[in-house]
Amino acid sequence: MSSQSTQLDNLDQDQLVQFVLETFHRNLIHYGLWFREVEHQNGMENVLEADYEVFDSCLAFQMGRLGKILDFEVDKKGVPLKLKNMSRDELVELAKGSASNWLVTDGVWFQAVEQAHGMEAAKRANDLCWSRLSPHEAYYIKKLLGLGEMPGLDGLKAALGLRNYSLVNVQSIHDVDEHSFIFQMNDCRVQSARKRRGLPDYPCHSVGMVEYPAFARSIDKRITTECVGCPPDHPEEWYCAWRFTLVE
C-alpha cells in the first residue's frame, strides 16, 4: 500500500470530505497565483489572453474528470449538459447567485484584512484587486458579446449590464449627448446594508476611480471617466454616478 493511500485511509469521513474541498481550494489558489505571476512578468494584456486560452482548457479536462466521478455528462468543451438544459430563468437565477457569492466573498476578505491590519490596509488591497478584476471582467464581456476592439459608448453600455454588480445592484444609464452618458448606481447592496445597520456610507471614491476608468478603458481605450458623485457625497436617488465620454 502506498504512503498516499495510507494517509487518506487515516482520515475519518468528515476529514476526508474537508480534504476533498481543500483540493478544490488549492486549485483556485494555484490558478490565481499563476494569473498574478504571469501578469507581473508580462503585463495585464498578455495575461488576459493567456487566461482566455487556459480557462477553456482547464474547463474541458476538469469538468470532464469531475463528470466521470460525480456521474454527470458534459459536452466536448466540458460544459455540463445539465447546465445547458436549464431554463433561461434558472440560468439567470444561477448567475445572480454566483454574483451574490462573489460579493459576500469580497466583503469577507475586506473585513478579515480590516480586522487584522486596519481600514487603510483593507482599502489598499481592495483597490489593487479592482485594478485587475475590472480589466478581466471587461475582457471576457467583450469576448462574449463580440464587441470588437473599440465598440464605443454603445459597447460600454452593453458591457456595464453584464458586470457582477449589475446582477446584485440596481443601476441606470442616462444619455448626456452623442459623446457621453452618465451611469448611476441607484441601489448598492453594500451601502444599503450599511444604511440598514445605521452605519455611515463606506467612502468608496478611491476604489471607484480604479474600477470604473479601468473597465471603460478596457472596453474602448478612447473612453474617459469622470466621477459625478460617490459616497459619502451623493443624493438620495443614487449612491455613485460616473460620466463616460468618448474622445475621438
Confidence of residue 5 (pLDDT cuts 50, 70, 90): low
pLDDT in tens, 17-61: 999 999 999 999 999 999 999 999 999 999 999 999 999 999 999
Percent of the chain beyond pLDDT 90? 96
Q: Is the pLDDT of residue 153 over 90?
A: yes
Confidence (pLDDT) at 235: 94
CATH topology of domain 87-248: Muramoyl-pentapeptide Carboxypeptidase; domain 2 (3.30.1380)
The Cα–Cα gap between 199 and 193 comes to 9
Say whether pLDDT at 248 is over 90.
no
- The set of residues, in sequence order, having a beta carbon less than 8 Å from that of 31 and lying 6+ positions away, is 58
Burial of 207 (C-beta count, 10 Å sphere; 0-12/13-18/19+): buried
Edge to edge, the sheet with strand 170-177 lists 170-177, 180-187, 240-246, 223-229
Q: State pLDDT tens for residues 54-101.
A: 999 999 999 999 999 999 999 999 999 999 999 999 999 999 999 999
| Distances, alpha carbon 208 to alpha carbons 50, 97, 219, in Å | 27, 24, 16
Q: What is the pLDDT of residue 4?
A: 63
Q: Where are the domains of the chain?
A: 1-85, 87-248
C-alpha cell at 18: 474537508
Mean pLDDT (the chain, rounded): 95
Q: Is the pLDDT of residue 117 over 60?
A: yes
